[in-house]
Amino acid sequence: MTATATPANADRLRFYRAVWRWHFYAGLLVLPFIAWLALTGAVYLYQKPIDRWIHHGLKVVEVDSVSRALPSAHITAVRAVTQGEVFRYSTPERADSSVEVGVIEADGHRHVYYVDPARSHVLGHLPEKGTFSGVVRRLHSLDLLGSYASALIEIAAGWAILLVLTGVYLWWPRGQKGGVTTVRGQPGQRLFWRDLHAVTGVWVGLVLLFLALTGMPWSLVWGKQVNAWANGHNDGYPAGVRVEVPMSRQRLTDTTVPTWSLQQAHLPASGASHARHTAQPEHDGHEGHGGSGPGELALQPGAIGIDAAIRTFERLGLAPGYSVSLPRGALGVYSASVYPEVLDQQRVVHLDQYSGEVLLDMRYADYGPLGRALEWGINVHLGQEYGTANRLLLLIACMAIVLLCVSGAAMWWKRRPLGGLGVPPLPRQGHSVAGVFALLCVGGLLFPLVGASLLLVGLLDALATRGWRSPPAA
């Protein structure tokens, strides 16, 4: 056909082949990661009901007319079975839920003890993050790979973004009708898998793009930098930290797992007049045993105690299921935090451990626009916001992402040459590949680790193909 021989069509074909080549590299690098994240993410969407089923004896208690015992009684019951240091007390989220008491054991490991709230009976304990959902979340976040996990997440998420963008370009209709919204051929044919991959990708691509972007906050370089920036400007950091109260060097992350935008937040300090009467000026916040006995944080002279703190938090109306971090040291505070499915109910409250005065009361509405946007994205990513509808949508998307990975692998398997990798051929004009590479590097500037991996892949590809130039025609 003469139409295909025009310079415009020839240029378009060269650019298409160059995009296809980089799309192949992106898929080669991240398809296994994407499939893994989709499978583990699908399970984590329903982590609460699964945990209640698997750990029923620990998490579920009988509901009767017996009134709930005091929090101090729950802690005393835990102290009777461990010599560890109590650092956190979590209230029941539901009427039939147990109380959870966090303990730092003598060997330094953290455990969670489950207590019947009415009878103060210890039901058992698990390592912190040792529930089924905790294990799944660690698998999903690649924590088992150690310190490299957050780096891999940033690289995988960045390449997934490139995969979606290049995939949309390859799918874009250019006069053809098949493979756009319908699947042609039979399962034994490469055409079937190509169309299935393209059609699935275009429908699920937007969700995959969203999940990749909202997963970036947990990444090594980009996530930490954005978090530090968000927590240093009024656009992101909760407005409550700007009130006139002294701040300590302790962080909210010392004793609890805060929402992402609060991971850099410092805690306020309890009353200085009381602190001056102690022998411990502000230090690293790790209090030794003593004072009120082994296994519990030392109660400072004049402190209100956990029972009074819980009464204050209840009076303030925190959503059920909130956790209270006990004061650490003379300047420590009672810190209550709750991150329910509804963003508007997110809240962090700090109490002076001596007077019970509210030092900070931070809500989702107090976040700046950047903080609210980031928290909204994370909440939707976790399947929390919008309830069942969100979880069902993400569950379908996760299954579609797995299908996308399987169809991509099947398509490659059917087209690969015997004994070869099956890299899409280079266009004769090497500047087409270099041009696409330059466009991709723009994204690499936004995500440094992705940019570094792009340069590495580009260098290897250039060396393997003699500088992105095909040999002259025979």
Look at residues 156, 357, 331, 367 and name the one whose alpha carbon lies nearest to residue 258: 367
Give me the pLDDT at residue 411, please. Answer: 87
What is the per-residue pLDDT for 374? 85
**Contact by Cβ (8 Å): 87, 103:** yes
The residue-averaged pLDDT of 106-115 equals 94
The C-alpha angle with vertex 217 and arms to 213 and 222, in degrees rounded to 5, equals 90
pLDDT, position 432: 65
pLDDT in tens, 64-78: 777 889 999 999 999
Above 60 in pLDDT, residue 296?
A: no
For residues 145, 146, 149, 152, the Cα torsion angle rounded to the nearest 10 degrees is -70
Residue 241 has pLDDT above 50, yes or no: no
Torsion angle defined by CA atoms of residues 282, 371, 261 and 275, in that order, rounded to the nearest 10 degrees: 20
pLDDT, the chain, mean: 81
Q: Could you tell me which residue, 319 or 274, shows the higher pLDDT? A: 319
Long-range contacts of 124-129 (CB under 8 A, 24+ apart): 124/57, 124/58, 125/82, 126/55, 126/58, 128/102
**Collapsed DSSP state (helix, strand, coil) of residue 351:** strand
Please tell me which residue, 2 or 72, carries the higher pLDDT value.
Answer: 72
**What are the tens digits of pLDDT across the range 358-416?**
988 888 888 878 888 888 998 999 998 888 999 999 999 999 999 999 999 988 888 87
The per-residue pLDDT for 292 is: 37
Domain-wise residue ranges, the chain: 2-45+139-220+387-464, 58-130, 238-286+299-366
If DSSP codes are grouped into helix, strand and coil, which group holds residue 422? coil
Residue-wise pLDDT for 12-47, tens only, equals: 677 788 888 888 888 888 888 899 999 999 999 999
The DSSP 8-state label assigned to residue 103 in this structure reads E
**Does the structure show a pLDDT above 50 at 240?**
no
- What global pTM score does this model have? 0.81
Q: How is domain 58-130 classified at the CATH fold level?
A: Nuclear Transport Factor 2; Chain: A, (3.10.450)
